Amino acid sequence: MKLLVFISFIAFITLTSPDEVSAQIAMDNHTVTVSVSEITLLQVSSGSVNLTITGANAVAGVDMMSTTDQSSSLSWGTNGSLKKITVQSNLAAPLFTLKVLALNPTQGLASPEVTLSSAWQDFLLNIGRTSGSCTLRYTGIAYASQGMGTDTHSITFTIQTQ
């Protein structure tokens, strides 16, 4: 009987004093704030590209000559919505025509082939919140009547809001 009374007493103490029990377990909390700002990342795979029009690109009797290059690519990443990639050359008055096309983009919609100029032009549309890549296909065009020469373009690709 004494034992029964003792056990009942212990059980009573245990059930009615939760604060004292919890005091033996350390608890705390804090606030974690994760801030992701707008990211726009763009990179070409090669710093330089060379295009040369030679006799191999010419057809006797046809004034226009052209050559293409697909050796470089463009990679991008952005977490913004409604983004596009634009392109521009630093040459305001090149001797010859230079065009660029986004070939097989993994994301977005490629614009029709762009004739490069010093004005910004759309290159890829609707690339928002993705990373992706495309091949850069350059086409150089010259006419026999334009003679010989060299154009050195500094071509800039930029991610902009649509």
Nearest distance from residue 6's CB to another protein, in Å? 41
- The C-alpha atoms of residue 51 and residue 79 are separated, in whole angstroms, by 34
Q: Which of 48, 92, 93, 112 binds another protein (CB under 8 A)?
A: 48
- The C-alpha atoms of residue 91 and residue 116 are separated, in whole angstroms, by 9
Q: Which two tokens stand for residue 162?
A: 């649509």
Nearest distance from residue 153's CB to another protein, in Å? 5
Taking the least distance from each CB to another protein, the nearer of 20 and 63 is: 63
Interface segment toward another protein; rule CB under 8 A; list 11-19, 89-97, 101-109, 121-129: 89-97
41 contacts another protein (rule: CB under 8 A): yes
Nearest distance from residue 66's CB to another protein, in Å? 11
Taking the least distance from each CB to another protein, the nearer of 40 and 121 is: 40
- The C-alpha atoms of residue 61 and residue 120 are separated, in whole angstroms, by 35
Nearest CA to 151 out of 70, 92, 69 is that of 92
Cβ neighbourhood burial of 36 (10 Å; 0-12, 13-18, 19+): exposed
Quick note: the x/- pattern for another protein over 124-153, rule CB under 8 A, is -------x----x-x-x-x-xxxxxxxxxx
Taking the least distance from each CB to another protein, the nearer of 111 and 140 is: 140
Contacts made by residues 30-36, CB under 8 angstroms, sequence distance 24+: 36/79
**Regarding beta strands 83-89 and 97-103, do their DSSP bridges make them parallel or antiparallel, or are they unpaired?**
unpaired
Residues lying near another protein in the complex (CB under 8 A): 28, 30-37, 39-55, 58-63, 65, 72-77, 94-96, 98, 131, 136, 138, 140, 142, 144-159
